[in-house]
Structure 1
């Protein structure tokens, strides 16, 4: 159960850091909308390697939006 909560929090943090809504995030990364929705709701778990790859890509491509 803890793994699902970690995934749920992490995927939402990554998406929000980019300033994208769920639809934009899905289109940008080629992930089905339903899959991301299930990850964020905690009904399904993303693989750890995928979360690390997304975080790395977002950081390296300077996709993090300034929230000021």
Structure 2
């Protein structure tokens, strides 16, 4: 992975990235412009640390807002227009879908839930004016003591099949 890709994955500006990871801003600018190359071990270390920081931030956000994580699976279809307007985070087979619950975790088990989601892939097949979907996602929500849905509903889709 290139340094700019790593920084973009962090969601930080050059200035914020340089400050957070204690890299002189001019050095980072030179690396991204291709004037100089960072040592390979620096790239590997930054890639690992940025990934861990991003996952930690997502975990903290999940634990702060929601008490339950649910793995869902749905099979259905979108019209081509719906699919073309598909927004990352919308999922599990369009409106009025009734996805199946596969597994459930408490918010402090975020790592286990993400590891389970990584075992699955979403697939999309186009035919005529429709896109047929087979989707997996984690739903972050609040439930009562009986496990009944209360509110929330942020979704994290599994990766798409290659």
Greater per-residue helix proportion: 1
- Output one character per residue of 1:24-46: Cα deviation in whole Å (capped at 9) or x when no partner: 00000000000000000101110
Unaligned regions of 5+ residues in structure 1, if any?
1-8
Match of 1:21 in 2: 13
Match of 2:24 in 1: 32
Which of 1 and 2 has greater Rg? Answer: 2
Q: Which has the higher contact order (CA 8 A, sep 6+)?
A: 1
Unaligned regions of 5+ residues in structure 2, if any?
59-87, 89-162
**TM-score, structure 1 normalization:** 0.76
C-alpha distance in 2 between matches for 1:24 and 1:61:
14
Runs of 4+ in 1 over 2 A off after TM superposition: none
C-alpha distance in 1 between matches for 2:15 and 2:6:
14
C-alpha distance in 1 between matches for 2:7 and 2:15:
10
**TM-score, structure 2 normalization:** 0.33
> What RMSD, in angstroms, separates the aligned Cα atoms of the two structures?
2.3
Aligned partner (choices 23, 37, 43) of residue 45 of structure 1: 37
Q: 3-state DSSP class of the match of 2:54?
A: coil
